[in-house]
Amino acid sequence: MSKKITFPYHPQYPSVADLRKKAKSRIPKFAFDYLEGGCNEGLNLARNENDFDNIYLKPNYLKAVECPVLVVLVDVPAFGLRYKEIKSGLSIPPKMSINNILQAFARPLWGIKTLQHGIPSFATLKPYMEKGMDMSQLGQFMNKTFTGKVDIEKVSAIRDLWKGPLVLKGIATDEDMQAAIQIGADGVIVSNHGGRQIDAGESSINSLIKLANNPLYKSKLKIMLDGGIRSGVDLARAHAVGSEFNFMGRPFMYGVGALGNEGGDHTINMFKTHLYQIMQQLTIEKVTQFPDRLLKP
């Protein structure tokens, strides 16, 4: 990749860490704690990010609007115990406490925007919610919709009804992969829900490394990753160890928290620039070539 390609993004925020810092100064503490928090002490959340540092790549300087796919979430059998959210007074159903109100006053711009545009809501859930639903009813809806064990029988029933490609998100073990193959899934997303569910779990990237190296799984399923990616270098590392596609949540929310409506575009352009730069350094043209640059111990 000899051609230099860049994408426009704000030069003051060239990394996710910069967006995180700006978002923290711009939105109320309770909102940031919801975004930032992991389960319990946040150990698994930290592992999601830190374990990328154990993956090394080698350069080669001598060488020049439909929904076709259904993704079923199997990583949230119940809400995790999230200490930051508890301390900030977040709850289901949501309610504004004195503490939350004071936090909102500490971020006046956020408060003004909220007054202008209304309380933030789950836009993806609106089509399934009754109009005029109050906070109490919202809590009941969330508990009913997102709580409950997802087993092979339930997912098999969805597979029977859905004739298009089916992807399971929340895969972490060999047993999960074997079940996905048994059900007839087309792909899996290796994920621990951003470390928000169980603090004793393995990082998503380490789970991916083990699963993506199994030839049987690779021949039967598209294997993707969610969790811990914070830079274009992390994207490169994920591809190098076997991910075919990668998902991110927090980086985009940091971007929106920091820059508002421009935050999403800023974040994607930032990651594109990171990724193209590392591809130039490794002298490769396609992301499928990253495994050839994996430096194995």
* Residue 7 maps to a domain: no
Q: Are 202 and 172 in contact (CB under 8 A)?
A: yes
The CATH number covering residue 174 comes to 3.20.20.70
Cα Rg for the chain, rounded, in angstroms?
20
Per-residue pLDDT of the chain (297 residues; tens, 9 = 90+): 555 556 677 778 888 988 999 999 998 888 888 888 877 778 888 888 888 888 877 665 444 446 688 888 776 655 566 666 666 666 665 667 788 788 888 888 888 888 888 777 777 777 777 777 666 676 677 767 765 667 889 899 999 999 899 999 999 999 999 999 999 999 999 998 887 777 778 899 999 999 999 999 999 999 999 999 999 999 999 999 999 999 999 999 999 999 988 999 999 999 999 999 999 999 999 999 999 999 874
* Residue 156 maps to a domain: yes
Query: Residue 155 burial (CB < 10 Å; 0-12/13-18/19+)?
Result: buried
How many domains does the chain fold into? 1
* Residue 136 maps to a domain: no
* Integer Cα distance of 224 and 205 in angstroms: 10
Task: Give the per-residue pLDDT at 209.
Answer: 95
Q: At residue 2, what is the residue type?
A: S
Task: Give the per-residue pLDDT at 251.
Answer: 94
Full domain range(s) for residue 280: 16-81+148-295
Task: Give the per-residue pLDDT at 44.
Answer: 81
* Residue 258 maps to a domain: yes
Task: Give the per-residue pLDDT at 64.
Answer: 41
Task: Give the per-residue pLDDT at 118.
Answer: 77
* Residue 263 maps to a domain: yes
Q: Are 171 and 191 in contact (CB under 8 A)?
A: yes
* Residue 126 maps to a domain: no
Is 193 tagged catalytic? yes
* Integer Cα distance of 31 and 29 in angstroms: 5
* Integer Cα distance of 274 and 86 in angstroms: 36
Task: Give the per-residue pLDDT at 231.
Answer: 93
* Integer Cα distance of 257 and 251 in angstroms: 10
Q: Please tell me the pTM assigned to this model.
A: 0.74
* Residue 86 maps to a domain: no
* Residue 69 maps to a domain: yes
Catalytic residue among 193, 239, 266, 274: 193
Asked if the peptide bond before residue 93 counts as cis, ω within 30 degrees of 0, the response is yes
Task: Give the per-residue pLDDT at 197.
Answer: 73
